[in-house]
Amino acid sequence: MNAAANSLPQPIIVGLDFGTSGTAFSYTKPVRTGPSRYGSVFTPAPWPSGGSEQKVPTQIAYKDENPGHGGFGLEDFVWGFWVRPGMTMSSWFKLFLHMDPSRTPCSDGIMDEAVRMGILRLPLGKFGIDLTADFLKRILETIHRVVSPHGDLASQPLVVWLTVPVTWSPAAVGALETAATRAGFGQRTIGKLELATEADAAIHHVVHSLGNRFEVNEGVLVCDVGGGTTVGRLHLPDHWQGQRIQWTSLRDDQVGGRCAGAAVESNIYRLLTERFGRAFECLPVADKCPGSRFGRLLEKAKHEFGPASTEPRPLYLRMDPTLLQNNAYYRNDQVHITKQDLQRCFDPVLHEIIELVELEIKITQMQYRGVKIDHLVFVGGMTESAYMRWMLEFKFGNSYRLAIPEHPRLAVTRGAALRGTVGGRTEQA
């Protein structure tokens, strides 16, 4: 390394979780009292119209698909919370980067319903990598705006750790890396783009939040139940180094499936289509998709739903009354979804998640007969659901010690930032 490189200050480190339904970033910076040490990890909420939301909807709308709409100004596209009601838009386009996973009943349902609803769609002449590059370009601009008060980006390096699903093929990982490079990541002479698997990032957050719960040689299976996928990975605390426990990650060939938050949403959309027919189908995608007003109300209802909860609150969604025929589930521009409705939408997804966890446990125990799994740790946005927590406790609570760390929906982005502070890769067995 040359003298100029040695004279550079320690970098600002950013962890970026580009998710199927929502995207977030976290960052940490060197502390002034010890430039080789890093301070707290921050996860900002810099999204206009997003309130205190720390994730921005992964969605985009292009001006040339919305002639006459005044929400674009001089921009060729809008993204996240800037997508307005009535716009033709695209969401969940991360799935286009990896279209050849092993298909499961849930994954088939997600893809089919999302395509039919118009949520998973490509504008004419564009590919998934194009939408991803445009979206990530705006994310990078936001990162620069947020972290610039904490360091002179003209002279201080910026290292971004972008996370990828551990089950993705090399081609899918390459497509995401290409899109990020096109968006400007890693293009500064003193900037750098690094890749980490979501599973690898998550364990750093788990250790940071729950490390004192684990002992050496206690197997810890971390399950990431996010927006698009569910993946489990086993980690083994193998020795202490000073005050920090050191980990080995077992198995590279993780079991995963598209049975997570997006699958529940697809089931709800299917239910509403069956119930309201053309009145729901004819709504613009931007009025009912994840991230819309209705989508955020629906997300809150999903999180609050549990075995002891009351009936969900009505959800505001204005539909054409001429297409409705005295529907008992729609009054005063409000959709009424019952507890039974939500259970019907949750149960098939949760059953597949449980099957995946059981399969991961079985395969791991066959490959590592001397390893005992003591802990099941769940992270990801879907773990905020009271119903899912109850189901996991019911299924696994008597056999394993269950834990959900603080900020489970931010585990990947916060863990990626923590991963960057230690630099090295998690050791693979």
For residue 241, the SS3 value is: strand
Question: What's the pLDDT band for 71 if we cut at 50, 70, 90?
Answer: confident
Answer yes or no: are the C-beta atoms of 97 and 180 closer than 8 Å: no
Give the model's pLDDT for residue 216.
79
DSSP letter at 423?
-
Answer yes or no: are the C-beta atoms of 283 and 135 closer than 8 Å: no
Question: What's the pLDDT band for 263 if we cut at 50, 70, 90?
Answer: confident
Question: pLDDT per residue over 15-30, tens digit each?
Answer: 999 998 889 999 998 7
Give the model's pLDDT for residue 259.
61
Mean pLDDT in the chain? 82
Per-domain boundaries in the chain: 260-346
Q: What percent of the chain has pLDDT over 90?
A: 33
End-to-end Cα, the chain, rounded Å: 31
Question: pLDDT per residue over 352-369, tens digit each?
Answer: 889 888 888 888 888 878
Question: What's the pLDDT band for 427 if we cut at 50, 70, 90?
Answer: very low
The residue ranking higher by pLDDT, 78 or 53, is 78
Give the model's pLDDT for residue 255.
57
Give the model's pLDDT for residue 276.
92
Q: Give dist(CA 239, CA 265) in Å, integer.
A: 42
Does the pLDDT at position 161 exceed 70? Answer: yes
Residue type, 367: Q
Q: Encoding tokens for residue 423?
A: 């630099």
Does the pLDDT at position 252 exceed 70? Answer: no
Question: pLDDT per residue over 114-137, tens digit each?
Answer: 677 777 788 999 999 999 999 999
Give the model's pLDDT for residue 174.
96
Question: What's the pLDDT band for 150 if we cut at 50, 70, 90?
Answer: low
Question: What's the pLDDT band for 149 if we cut at 50, 70, 90?
Answer: low
Q: Mean pLDDT throughout 298-321?
A: 87
Q: How far is CA 422 from each of CA 65, 161, 246, 324, 418, rounded to the nearest angstrom?
A: 45, 12, 12, 58, 7
Give the model's pLDDT for residue 253.
53
Does the pLDDT at position 35 exceed 60? Answer: no
Q: Mean pLDDT throughout 71-89?
A: 89
Provide the sign of the torsion angle of the four alpha carbons 144, 406, 362, 239, taken in this order. Answer: positive
Q: Give dist(CA 9, CA 151) in Å, integer.
A: 10
Give the model's pLDDT for residue 105.
42
Buried b (16+ CB within 10 A) or exposed e, 111-139: bebbeebbbbbebeebebbbbbbbbbbbb
Does the pLDDT at position 429 exceed 60? Answer: no
Q: How far is CA 254 from each of CA 200, 201, 295, 350, 361, rounded to the nearest angstrom?
A: 12, 15, 31, 19, 11
Q: Give dist(CA 116, CA 351) in Å, integer.
A: 24
Question: pLDDT per residue over 179-217, tens digit each?
Answer: 999 999 988 766 799 999 888 898 889 888 887 788 877
Name the least confident of 64-78, 151-165, 248-262, 314-328.
Answer: 248-262
Q: Mean pLDDT throughout 221-244?
A: 68
* pTM (two decimals): 0.85
Does the pLDDT at position 143 exceed 60? Answer: yes
Question: What's the pLDDT band for 152 if we cut at 50, 70, 90?
Answer: low
Q: How far is CA 398 from each of CA 235, 250, 285, rounded to the nearest angstrom?
A: 21, 24, 43
Q: Encoding tokens for residue 369?
A: 């007969």
Question: pLDDT per residue over 355-410, tens digit each?
Answer: 888 888 888 888 878 788 888 999 988 888 899 999 999 999 999 999 999 889 99
Residue 22 sits at the vertex; the CA angle it makes with 17 and 26, to the nearest 5 degrees, is 35
Give the model's pLDDT for residue 147.
87
